[in-house]
Amino acid sequence: MQVDFTTEEAGYLEIWLVPAAGGPDVLAHSEYLASPGSYQKNLSTSQVPAGTHYLALCLDGETIAETVIKQ
């Protein structure tokens, strides 16, 4: 899965997949972003069960974006 995003601040980024039907959240990616800018991440979803999930991007512990995806 490819995720494109832009940040206005540097900080610690986490990308989460949260199952809509319940179950454990999956930390798909984490890294420190040293500067604001546009980024593109390719994430493996092989360990994520099929179904509807919320894709949440968090920067320094605060949710900055969220959307629904189906796998």
Residue 67: exposed, middle, or buried by beta-carbon count in 10 A (0-12, 13-18, 19+)?
Answer: exposed
> Do 40 and 2 form a contact (C-beta atoms < 8 A)?
yes
What is the reported pTM? 0.88
> Do 45 and 1 form a contact (C-beta atoms < 8 A)?
yes
Query: Domain tally for the chain?
Result: 1
- Tens of pLDDT along 43-66? 888 878 888 999 999 999 999 999
The reported pLDDT for the residue numbered 37 is 96
Task: Report phi then psi at 61, rounded to 5.
Answer: 85, 0
Rounded to whole angstroms, how far apart are CA atoms 37 and 47? 29
Pick the residue with more confidence: 1 or 12? 12
The reported pLDDT for the residue numbered 11 is 97
* CATH classification of the domain holding 24: 2.60.40
- Tens of pLDDT along 11-49? 999 999 999 998 899 999 999 999 999 999 998 888 788
> Range of 29's domain?
2-70
The size of the chain, in residues, is: 71
